[in-house]
Amino acid sequence: MGALSSSTIFRKVAMALSGLFLMIFLLQHFLINITSVFSADVFNQLSHFMGTNPLVQFVLQPILIGGVIFHFLMGFVLEWQNNRARGTKYAVFKGSANASWMSRNMLISGATVLAFLALHFYDFWVPEIKHKYIDFLPEDPNRYHAELVHKFEDLVRVLIYVVSFFFLSLHLLHGFASSFQSMGINNKYTPLIKSFGKLYAVGIPLGFAFIAIIHFLNH
């Protein structure tokens, strides 16, 4: 394990696996949130299940938070190591000539998403934990939709969310297909993976932005 943890390839595979795990979570998060646009009851039922199920609360949630922390810490470690590997910087470096902006700036898009996550946790996760595990308030299965809509009554918050989703999209546009390449998957299915990755990278953040905007417009 020691040899593995010091290997560049192992670090990349770990980054890819944590990224894929977070992308699966993101899809699940989106599928639940989109119901808030169509049915307050369905959204409340799903949110109540996720908020009270012990498996979700005490097993999946810590794994998810661990995955987020690992992905970001590893991202910063890789960036630090990569900067060291260059040594003296070039006077002129034309990165745009041979690589996309997204692939060259994963730290910028990732750090923006990280900053957004801090706000998102402050908006939803912290009040939820306080409600359940600090104040021990009685559980109301119908409170979730109203709380969600209330958050998106603020235009500034909606704008911050939309900009963050744009950076999330940039991050995923490189990250999705890149994670398969890191795991050694580059074959006849790669064009399909890249196409699906683009669809996912644009579709999911766009969907999240749609949810925030529609609740703002409807309040």
Partner 1 sequence: MKLTLIIWRQQNASAKGGMQTYTLDDVSPDMSFLEMMDVLNEQLMGQGIDPVAFDHDCREGICGSCSMFINGEAHGPDRLITTCQLHMRKFKDGDTIHIEPFRAKPFPVIKDLVVDRTAFDRIQHAGGFVSVNTSGNTQDANSLPIEKQAADKAFDAAACIGCGACVASCKNASAMLFVSAKVSQYALLPQGQVEATDRVLNMVKQMDEEGFGNCTNTGACEVECPKGISLENIARMNREYLTANLKG
Question: CA 59 to CA 74: how far, in whole Å?
Answer: 22
- Helix ranges, the chain (H): 2-5, 8-38, 40-52, 54-55, 61-86, 101-104, 106-120, 126-129, 144-151, 155-182, 190-218
Largest Cα–Cα distance in the chain? 62
CA–CA gap between residue 193 and residue 185 (Å, rounded): 10
Which one, 27 or 78, has the nearer CB to partner 1? 78
The residue (of 82 and 142) whose beta carbon lies closer to partner 1 is 82
Could you tell me if 128 and 155 are in contact, meaning their C-beta atoms sit under 8 angstroms apart?
no
Q: How far is the CB of 179 from partner 1 (least distance, A)?
A: 9
The least CB distance from residue 120 to partner 1, in Å, is 26
Least spacing, CB of residue 112 vs partner 1, in Å: 17
CB of 176 to partner 1, least distance (A): 11
Instruction: Select 85 or 156, whichever has its Cβ closest to partner 1.
Output: 85
Can you give the binding site for partner 1, defined by CB under 8 A? 3-4, 6-13, 78, 81-82, 84-95, 97-100, 103-104, 106, 174, 177-178, 181-186
Q: Which one, 60 or 183, has the nearer CB to partner 1?
A: 183
